[in-house]
Amino acid sequence: MSSDNRPGGDPVPAELHALDAELRGAEQAFLRRTDPGPTALLISVAMLVLLVGLLLPWVGYTPGWSVLAGLAPLGPLVRLFTFTSLAFGLVLPALALATRLWALAWLCAVGGGIASINGLWALWTRQVGVPIGEPGPGIGMVLAVVAMVLLAANWARIALRR
């Protein structure tokens, strides 16, 4: 059975070629989309926790937003985590939830995993690699790392669902 013939062998009328092309386009659009379902609420809550984590102290009394802005020199790993958590924890998930594109869901899953590893590494270096008397990681950094791990796991679940 070819695409131009009906099962009985009769040719498809010319008027139906446009409809056939439109249906194929709709099928391709459907295959590129994903439906997060109830997981979208969990992702939104994790994004909110990450946003609160950026407002709370990350190291000593220094909040995460000032690390992001470059106002507090806390080392490259902490600053790298602020950028990756902002990109893969707030910006890209907002786009992925709005567009529901499967490729963005995959990007959120992979980027969230990378940001989670960055966060764990930054958290570990603030616990182990600081001189005596310097402040360790604050509640904001811990919340941000937990939120990124949750985001990465949920985006991976959405991306692998298809």
**Residues in contact with 38: Cβ distance below 8 Å, sequence separation at least 6, in sequence order:** none
Q: Give the tens place of pLDDT for each residue, 115-157.
A: 999 999 999 988 887 777 778 788 999 999 999 999 999 999 9
152 vs 20: CA distance, rounded Å: 39
Looking up tokens 């600053």 gives 79
Highest mean pLDDT among 16-20, 57-61, 70-74, 119-123: 119-123
Residue 80: per-residue pLDDT: 92
Q: How confident is the model at residue 1 (pLDDT cuts 50, 70, 90)?
A: very low
pTM above 0.85, yes or no: no
Give residue 114's pLDDT band: very low, low, confident or very high (50, 70, 90).
very high
**CA atoms lying within 13 Å on the CB side of residue 117:** 5
Stretch among 14-28, 62-76, 79-93, 134-148 having the lowest mean pLDDT = 14-28
E strand intervals along the chain: 57-59, 62-63
**pLDDT tens per residue across span 98-113:** 988 888 999 999 999 9
pLDDT of residue 134: 78
